[in-house]
């Protein structure tokens, strides 16, 4: 998404993640290839103190016009076997940091959007198709993504007259490290029906953000799944999904 913002919109970016070398390499790439300003903040968003620091550093002597809260982790396996510390880290990363950062960022974004300048600002929260359907063997993850969907869509209404858009982006399978780290890459592979590359998905996401969409689901298969979740019983969908996600077969 940082690449798409710099390449397609000439946007300056502040990037946040845990791995310093990767952040710095990407910043350098964006500066040389696209001539934008790029800064990085190394932080672990599962740690509340890091979340506070990210906001302080990102807004120190700098004005933000948009924020994309994308960091997320998953666990694939039986919910009762999810280690408690790992669950806390998942919840902190996917939910708590997102709510805290949203609460800290929104007054800043409202200020940029409002007043005499009459500008606009935006917040985008990254959810998942797993928000629409209970996903057995990704129970905690799909729960966090359902939270984000509900929270983000509610927030969009609360902020309607502020000039700040809230976009919830809910992709399906993307071939990224998230699948590698969870083992899901053994089940879902590049080229499978509906799977996207990170670059494809990022293009959709940034377009939705710029167009200030309230909810965006990229790709026909994912849109069909989102629609099915409104038409079919959730229990039936969960049963079908269980067969796809059950580990060890």
* Burial class for 7, CB neighbours closer than 10 Å (0-12, 13-18, 19+): middle
Binding of residue 187 to ligand NAP (CB under 6 A): no
| Selection from 106, 107, 104, 122 nearest residue 11 by Cα | 122
| Position among 13, 27, 36, 71 found at the interface with ligand NAP (CB under 6 A) | 71
Binding of residue 49 to ligand NAP (CB under 6 A): no
Binding of residue 171 to ligand NAP (CB under 6 A): yes
Residue 236: both structure tokens together: 């039936």
Q: How far is the CB of 149 from ligand NAP (least distance, A)?
A: 11
Q: What is the DSSP string of 100-134?
A: HHHHHHHHHHHHHHSTTTT--EEEEEE--GGGTS-
In the numeric block, the tokens 């590049």 are attached to 190
| Position among 24, 29, 44, 214 found at the interface with ligand NAP (CB under 6 A) | 44
Q: Which one of 11-19, 58-66, 75-83, 224-232 is the stretch in contact with ligand NAP (CB under 6 A)?
A: 11-19
Binding of residue 174 to ligand NAP (CB under 6 A): yes
| Position among 5, 30, 58, 73 found at the interface with ligand NAP (CB under 6 A) | 73
Residue 155: both structure tokens together: 């927030």
Confirm if 89 and 95 have CB atoms less than 8 A apart: no
Rounded to whole angstroms, the Cα distance separating 206 from 213 reads 10
Q: How far is the CB of 143 from ligand NAP (least distance, A)?
A: 12
Binding mask 113-132 for ligand NAP (x = CB under 6 A): -------------x-x----
Binding of residue 143 to ligand NAP (CB under 6 A): no
Strand, coil or helix: 140: helix
């Amino acid at each position: 998404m940082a690449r798409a913002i710099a390449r397609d919109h000439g946007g300056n970016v502040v990037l946040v993640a845990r791995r310093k070398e990767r952040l710095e390499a990407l910043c350098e790439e964006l500066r040389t290839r696209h001539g934008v300003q790029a800064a990085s903040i190394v932080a672990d968003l599962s740690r509340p103190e890091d979340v506070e620091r990210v906001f302080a550093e990102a807004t120190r002597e700098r004005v933000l016009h948009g924020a994309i809260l994308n960091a997320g982790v998953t666990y694939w396996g039986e919910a009762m076997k999810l280690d408690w510390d790992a669950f806390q880290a998942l919840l902190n990363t996917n939910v708590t940091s997102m709510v805290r950062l949203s609460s800290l960022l929104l007054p800043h974004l409202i200020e940029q959007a409002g007043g005499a300048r009459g500008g606009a600002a935006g917040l985008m929260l990254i959810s998942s198709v797993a928000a629409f359907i209970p996903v057995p063997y990704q129970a905690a993850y799909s729960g966090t993504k359902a939270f984000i969907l509900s929270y983000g869509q509610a927030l969009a209404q609360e902020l309607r007259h502020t000039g700040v858009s809230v976009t919830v982006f809910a992709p399906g399978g993307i071939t990224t490290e998230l699948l590698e780290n969870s083992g899901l890459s053994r089940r879902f592979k590049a080229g499978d029906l509906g799977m996207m590359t990170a670059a494809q998905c990022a293009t959709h996401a940034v377009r939705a953000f710029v167009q200030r969409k309230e909810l965006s689901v990229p790709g026909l298969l994912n849109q069909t799944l989102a629609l099915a979740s409104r038409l079919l019983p959730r229990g039936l969908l969960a049963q079908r999904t269980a067969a796809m996600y059950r580990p060890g077969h």
